[in-house]
Amino acid sequence: MSRSKNDLPDPLILAAAGAGIALLVTGAALWQRRRHRESRGQEETIATDAPHWTLDKTSSRALFGKSVLINRPRPELYAAWTPERFPEFMENVVAVDDLGDDVSQWTIKAPAGREVTLVNRITERVEDTSIYWQSTPASDIANSGEVRFTDAPAGRGTYVSLILAYDPPAGKVGRLAAKLLQREPEVQARRDLHRFKQLMETGEVTTNASPSARGAESPAEPHI
């Protein structure tokens, strides 16, 4: 059964009702935001157990941290985290040269067969616990970071946390570096951290190198 025209609400009343609802919603949102801000101020003294680099952030990170559980003792992992061993498990790192005075020069693979150079200084070491570094002005990309070693509970080994911050690169290598780092910096660090875990737990870096019927692939090289 169809409704007669008189049953329909007046369009003007509809519009007014719509505007009223929109106003109410906006008002409520603003009020809630202010309330949220105020309550946050009061809660500043309340502690949280979440790592600081995970707070108040969306998942898209320029500063990021990643932790993995590695089933080895803390001192062993701390001792293994040395620049000389980085090329063993850091995929993009071609070489790390010791320049002395805790400064090392990193040669990193970049797209199109080019290379980027990082010059980093280790600023602090806490035995068996953490290593901090900071780039020097000579570095193509300004960066700083920390790797932290914490005992995992119940004899499970060690939590290894990598925290890395970098400035969006500019200058002559800016474009290249941006392409390199902004592509997927978190993914790269996460993968390297997992390779470190593989190396320390199994003695080798895991590879799926195996044959296929795809002509371009070598049975001795990993593939996606």
Partner 1 sequence: MRAVTWQGRHKISVETVPDPEIVNPRDAIIRVTSTAICGSDLHLYDGYIPGMRAGDIVGHEFMGEVIETGAASTLKRGQRVVIPFTISCGQCFFCEKQQYSACDNSNPSETRDASELMMGHAMGGAFGYAHLTGGYAGGQAEYVRIPYSDVGPVVIPDDLADDDVLFLSDILPTGWQAAVNADIEPGDTVAVWGCGPVGLFTIQSALLLGAGRVIAIDHFPTRLALAKKYGAEILDYTKVDVREALAEMTGGIGPDACIDCVGMESHGFTVDNILDQVKVKLLASTERIHALRQAILACRKGGRLSIPGVYGGFADKFPLGQLMEKGLTVKSGQTHVQRYSGELLDMIQGGKFDTVSLISHHASLEDAAEMYRHWHDEQDLYTKIVLKPGLKKGDISARQELQHA
List 65, 104, 106, 192, residue binding partner 1 (CB under 8 A): 192
Q: Which residue has the tokens 């068996």?
A: 128
- Cα 38 to chain centroid, rounded: 30
- Given the DSSP bridges, would you call strands 93-100 and 130-135 parallel, antiparallel or unpaired? unpaired
| 223 lines the binding site for partner 1 (CB under 8 A) | yes
List 36, 40, 156, 175, residue binding partner 1 (CB under 8 A): 156
Question: How far is it, in rounded angstroms, from Cα 120 to Cα 85?
Answer: 15
| 69 lines the binding site for partner 1 (CB under 8 A) | yes
Q: How would you list the strands of the sheet with 64-70, edge to edge?
A: 64-70, 158-166, 143-151, 130-135, 115-126, 103-109, 93-100
The residue count for binding partner 1 (CB under 8 A) is 33
Residues 70-109 that bind partner 1 (CB under 8 A): 71, 91
| 187 lines the binding site for partner 1 (CB under 8 A) | yes
- What is the smallest separation between the CB atom of 89 and partner 1, expressed in angstroms? 9
The sign one gets for the Cα dihedral 201, 197, 140, 163 is negative
Q: Report the interface residues with partner 1, using CB under 8 A.
A: 69, 71, 91, 156-157, 187, 190-192, 194-195, 197-198, 201-214, 218-220, 222-224
